[in-house]
Chain A
Amino acid sequence: MYAFEIERPSTVADAVTALAKSDENQALAGGQTLIPTLKQRLASPETLVSLGGIAEIQGICQDDDGRVCIGAGTTHAEVAAGAGAYLALAALANNIGDPAVRNRGTIGGSLANNDPSACYPAGALGSGATIVTTAREIVADDYFQGMFETALDAGEIITEVKFPVPEKANYQKFEQPASRFALVGVFVAKFADGVRVAVTGASEEGVFRWSEAEAVLSGNFSADALDGVTLSGDGMISDLHGSGAYRAHLVGVMTRRAVAAA
């Protein structure tokens, strides 16, 4: 790792101030992606602003609209244990990485990083969540902008994520066993006004909504309804673990499983 300083502010306001001091400063959430990145010298911040000591962005509650609101600094293990009002999301969190990773990694860190194979982007986009930052509220449909790209501006910190709770939902992850990321993951959520299907791990553009499947499932929420609905392998991630066509096929399989399990 290149050398850097660490600051540990105890409030969001102090974290914003610390980040604003230099363009070379960077926020540190759970560090489960950023620390390996630093070890590979793929990042060289002047100062890391650790968000781990900020109590006001930790915890889970429900707002007056029934949405499950999760502080950005809440770990995957805490969401797995504490998001009982949204079981599909708790189950998603409980299958990220391994137990030790889940004790450090946070929902805000995962969404800010927007890894194309991470689980939370599928959960947030599939749920139609709202990402609350230090500057504004961003709906999930506007937030995810491609592989590792988000709507966040420099110095903007996610503080909370608000999840509307669907009538039914399920996340199916076909795990890449070495990395424990999703080779393909599909989050399906059935709301009163329609179905949302969000896919991670597949597209070169990062997490996306599979609109054809959403249209079919909104009319008939059953796995059989997806017979004949297929996805092209064009633009899908292709690597030694699976070709684009393989991933496209897997999206269909995982979507059917998610609908059946929801």
Chain B
Amino acid sequence: MAQVSMTVNGKPASGEIEGRTLLVDFIRESLDLTGTHVGCDTSQCGACVVHVNGKAVKACTMFAAEAEGAEVTTIEGMAAEDGTLNPIQQAFQDHHGLQCGFCTPGMVMSASALLAENPKPSEAEIRDYLEGNICRCTGYHNIVKAILAASGQDVSNIAAE
């Protein structure tokens, strides 16, 4: 066992880990932040996407030890302290960008990383960026629409399908 320390959602976090402890397991089991989901555990589905030093990564395919000293943001760090949703989260709610919701934490974290590097993405750019985030409910259409809306673009002419 070894000690690891990092900053998670702006607060110091530390704990005992094994070498093989995945970042997602540290977040969920040690920190009790269960908003980050484990879908496939094979780095295909993206339900476990978090930000490490501002970059979207799959927390199921990174060891907790490798996040020593890092700034980590999870879905729990997206809303304001008073519970006010982040604009991306609000857009997912407004545009029905989720059904069962299992993939949503990863979708929101990927969308947030996309908008940080490309504030006004096209529909094609959004779909391309979400290549590593799999949703089995929505058919993606409303997810894309929500991200377009969160980026301040007009979605009034986009039909819900």
Query: Do A and B truly interact?
Result: yes
Instruction: Let me know if B46 and A3 touch, CB within 8 A.
Output: no
For chain B, the bracket of interface size reads 20 to 34
List chain A residues, Cβ under 8 A from B44: 178
- Contact pick for B132, options A6, A48, A97, CB 8 Å: A97
List chain A residues, Cβ under 8 A from B18: 3
List chain B residues, Cβ under 8 A from A1: 20
In the assembled complex, the CB of B121 is this many whole angstroms from the nearest CB of chain A, namely: 12
User: In the bound complex, how far is the Cα of B19 from the Cα of A1, in angstroms?
Assistant: 10
User: In the bound complex, how far is the Cα of B113 from the Cα of A99, in angstroms?
Assistant: 9
Instruction: Let me know if B55 and A103 touch, CB within 8 A.
Output: yes
Q: Which chain B residue shows the least CB distance to A78? A: B55
Check: B58 CB closer than 8 A to any chain A CB. Answer: yes
Check: B29 CB closer than 8 A to any chain A CB. Answer: no
Given A36-B43, A100-B49, verify A8-B68 contact (CB < 8 Å).
yes
In the assembled complex, the CB of A197 is this many whole angstroms from the nearest CB of chain B, namely: 27
Instruction: Let me know if A99 and B132 touch, CB within 8 A.
Output: yes
List chain A residues, Cβ under 8 A from B43: 32, 35-36, 100-101
In the assembled complex, the CB of B23 is this many whole angstroms from the nearest CB of chain A, namely: 10
Given A8-B66, A100-B132, verify A48-B61 contact (CB < 8 Å).
no
Instruction: Let me know if B132 and A39 touch, CB within 8 A.
Output: no
Instruction: Let me know if A5 and B19 touch, CB within 8 A.
Output: yes
Check: A255 CB closer than 8 A to any chain B CB. Answer: no
In the assembled complex, the CB of A240 is this many whole angstroms from the nearest CB of chain B, namely: 17
List chain A residues, Cβ under 8 A from B56: 99-100, 103
Q: Which residues of A contact B (CB under 8 A)?
A: 1-6, 8, 28, 31-32, 35-36, 38-39, 47-48, 50, 52, 77, 97-101, 103-104, 178, 180
